[in-house]
Structure formats: structure tokens, C-alpha cells
Amino acid sequence: MHEVSVIFSLSISGNGYGNYPSTQSLDKASDNNITTKYLNFGSFFYLNIYDICGLNTGFYVTLKRGVSLVIGLQIFTADDMSARDPIIVTLEGSNSTNIDLTYGINWNLIYNGNSGLTNDPGRLTCDQTQLFCNSKQYMSYRFLVTHKRALANSVQYSEVRLLGFNF
């Protein structure tokens, strides 16, 4: 598992637009505990149920060890509602710093594909580890969910694990 020096959400706590519940915050996505979860409503209010609720949400991390090579990822389902499972995800890397990362500048696409959860493995588990070709080391990585399993008011997952070298 990767040691994170800084983990940044692309949204804030709350039940409104672009929010996540305070008890299901971003730190839960990387706490080595599959019984906790990160949930995000995306650009919709928590009472809305649309195809796009929760999409294009995620986070970025800056690794403690500095540059590292990521060649795979593993995503764990949350405790309820399989409709919220991420199905298609992206992973991007950057060696830029602070403000560029926050504003989405200088991210390089590493992976755009299956989350490993296409077939519902059940709750609080993962199915397939997604491995991909990557030869470029980065200091920061951004994870985004671009498609979810079905109609729901949000996207959720219990863990995202980056796999690679120099961790």
C-alpha cells in the first residue's frame, strides 16, 4: 500500500452539490480499512438520482517517497448499494506541484479503463486487480471515476490501492 503524505479531495464535506458526507470522507479511500468508505455526490444534490451523479469525482495523492512507478490499481466495493460502484476509472500522474495539481494542470493519462468491478464481487471486497503498462514515474497521482454501475445518487468505494514500485 502506498504511503500518502498529502491526499486532496476534489470536493468538500456536506449534502449539497459537489459534496460528500462528513462520515464518508476522502481519507476513508486510503485508510487500509475496507469497512469504511468514501462517497461523493458529484455535481448533484444528495436527493437527486441521475446517471451522472458522482461521476468525474475522485482525489489526488502526493506520495511520501517521492516519485514512484504505478503499474496497477485495486478498488474495493463499499458496504451497500452496488449501483454506486465505479466501473470505469482514470489514473493520471504528475510531477508538478501544489497549485497546478489543484487546478488540474499538467496531469498525464496513465490508465482509462475497467475498475475491476465489472462483475459485482459483492460488498466490501475487490474482484480483479487492474494492471497496465506504464514506464513513467510520478510524485502525484489523480484517480477519477467516469462511469458507475447503475442509476444512483453518488459513487462510493471503500479503498483505492495503487500498485507499483518504490512504495
At 100, give phi and psi (nearest 5°).
-60, -40
pLDDT score for 97 = 84
Instruction: Give the per-residue pLDDT at 17.
Output: 75
Confidence at residue 64, expressed as pLDDT on a 0 to 100 scale: 85
Domains of the chain, each with CATH number or no CATH:
4-165 (2.60.120.260)
φ, ψ (nearest 5 deg) of residue 141: -130, 140
Cell numbers for 19: 459534496
Q: What is the pTM of this model?
A: 0.92
At 4 the pLDDT is 56
The pLDDT value recorded for residue 1 is 47
pLDDT in tens, the chain (167 residues): 455 555 666 677 887 777 899 999 999 999 999 999 999 988 877 777 788 999 999 999 998 889 999 999 999 999 999 999 999 999 999 999 888 898 888 999 999 999 999 999 999 999 999 999 999 999 999 999 999 999 999 999 999 999 998 76
Whole-angstrom distance, CA of residue 51 vs CA of residue 106: 29
